[in-house]
Amino acid sequence: MLAMTVERPGAPLAARDLPVPEPGPDDVLVRVLACGVCRTDLHVADGDLPSLGRPVVPGHEIVGEIVRCGARITGRAPGDRVGIPWLGWTCGRCAYCRSGRENLCPSARFTGYHRDGGFAEYAAADARYAFPLPRALDPVASAPLLCAGLIGYRAWRMAGDARRLGVYGFGAAGHLVAQMARDAGQQVFAFVRPGDREAEAFARGLGATWAGPSDALPPAPLDAAILFAPVGALVPAALRAVGPGGTVVCGGIHMSDLPSMPYALLWGERVLRSVANLTRADGEALLALAPRVPLRSTVRPYPLREANAALDDLRAGRLEGAAVLVP
């Protein structure tokens, strides 16, 4: 099968002819129909996440069709449609798993990092961490829900009941969160790269009350802000933008270092927190919410062999919405 692999962090992905994965007893083998390109894939490719010392097939926004089931699998069958997210396995025994916080499991394994992911024609996944999907869903349009949507949903919940919500970085996750927030009656304030008028227009087209550069203050104090841009310097900017009692949520798995900042930015019972990974409960809740809103992903499809072009476009901020690879 064709797979695009990270052979060495910082180098372009390599096109490789690899064997089709052999599913374990608890796995399903899927034919990949579409795989979204996430900023975490960029962090894996660029070496922002620790190297595992071996080639890795990235990709964790997988929509696939089951072609084979492991020996212990029940309730799944070839032909079933599934979505495979970043969280690929947890121990189920630690205090975090037992308290509903499997996203913090210290033994967790992640798709497209510890387990080879969806930048390939086939992928194997633990069936317990693969969400059933209706066959009527468009694979390309629904792929970004598997991480941009899921992490966005978790970050949005962590932001609390905010009447005025700021979104820093209006890409794959940001444009989905904006739709959730608008459906809930919240005002959305979109912060984009300075000078990016197209991104401002994109945000306004999705119902943003205001859209402007990330170094500007909004026209009114925010109740909460979510950062999807992995730029540490935006943390003090977001703290300046929220009023007393406001919350700033960092939604990425990696961010550049936070600069030194005065305590006065945090004072006033402001809250600064991160969101780590996702739980299966998040996935079930988001997939139930998506058709009700309804969430609509803006996507740009790329052939699988053009994974490097998709990563380059994401790195350079040339995307509206999300990139999706199609084998």
pLDDT at 86: 97
Instruction: Select the more confidently predicted residue: 78 or 253.
Output: 78
Domain spans of the chain?
Answer: 2-144+278-326, 150-274
Q: pLDDT at position 122, please?
A: 98
Banded model confidence at residue 197, pLDDT cuts 50, 70, 90: very high
> Percentage of the chain with pLDDT > 70?
100
Upstream peptide bond of 213 is cis (omega within 30 degrees of 0):
no
Residue-wise pLDDT for 256-281, tens only, equals 999 999 999 999 999 999 999 999 99
pLDDT at 32: 98
Question: Which residues sit opposite 37 in a β-bridge?
Answer: 323
According to DSSP, the residues that pair with 8 across neighbouring strands are none
pLDDT recorded at residue 310: 98
**Residue 22 structure tokens:** 């052999």
CA distance 16 to 19: 10
Summarize pLDDT for 55-104 with one digit per residue, the tens: 999 999 999 999 999 999 999 999 999 999 999 999 999 999 999 999 99
Nearest to 189 by CA among 162, 202, 208: 208
The closest of 37, 78, 108, 20 to 326, measured between CA atoms, is 37
pLDDT of residue 5: 98
Query: Per CATH, which fold does 150-274 belong to?
Result: Rossmann fold (3.40.50)
Q: Is the pTM of this model over 0.85?
A: yes
Q: Is 101 helix (H, G, I), strand (E, B) or coil?
A: coil
Instruction: Provide the pLDDT for residue 23.
Output: 96
Q: Return the CATH superfamily for domain 2-144+278-326.
A: Medium-chain alcohol dehydrogenases, catalytic domain (3.90.180.10)
